[in-house]
Amino acid sequence: MLRPKNEDLAGEALIYEKANGVTYAKFRDDPKKSLYPGRWEIGRDVGEKPLLDYAQWRHLSDLANIHPILKKQLEQLVTTYYILKDSE
């Protein structure tokens, strides 16, 4: 959805949502809620992007349950993670 004009935002109650590093806004009340259904992007996180987001991590875990080679590699990675984490 395209962002409403500034005059449409003045004095309106908004609902803010954040998903995968993106912040969105949407109108809370009618009539603007009906005129502008949905949400629009208002910002993004700046900085380093994580290697995997949660959905990708879950998918990787699911694949590891199917593919033994990937499971072994993932187990080694997790072991390395715990060793490094404990040494901090």
Note the pLDDT tens digit of each residue in 5-29.
877 888 889 999 999 888 999 999 9
Query: Are 15 and 38 in a shared domain?
Result: yes
**Looking at the 3D structure of the chain, how many domains does it have?**
2
The three-state secondary structure class of 80 is helix
pTM of this prediction?
0.50
Residues 37 and 51: beta-carbon distance below 8 Å: no
Structure confidence at residue 8 (pLDDT): 80
What is the tens place of the pLDDT at every residue in 42-52? Answer: 888 887 777 88
Query: Are 37 and 63 in a shared domain?
Result: no
Residue 49 lies in a domain: no
Structure confidence at residue 2 (pLDDT): 65
Query: Are 39 and 62 in a shared domain?
Result: no
Tell me the pLDDT of the chain averaged across its residues.
89
Host domain of residue 80? 54-87
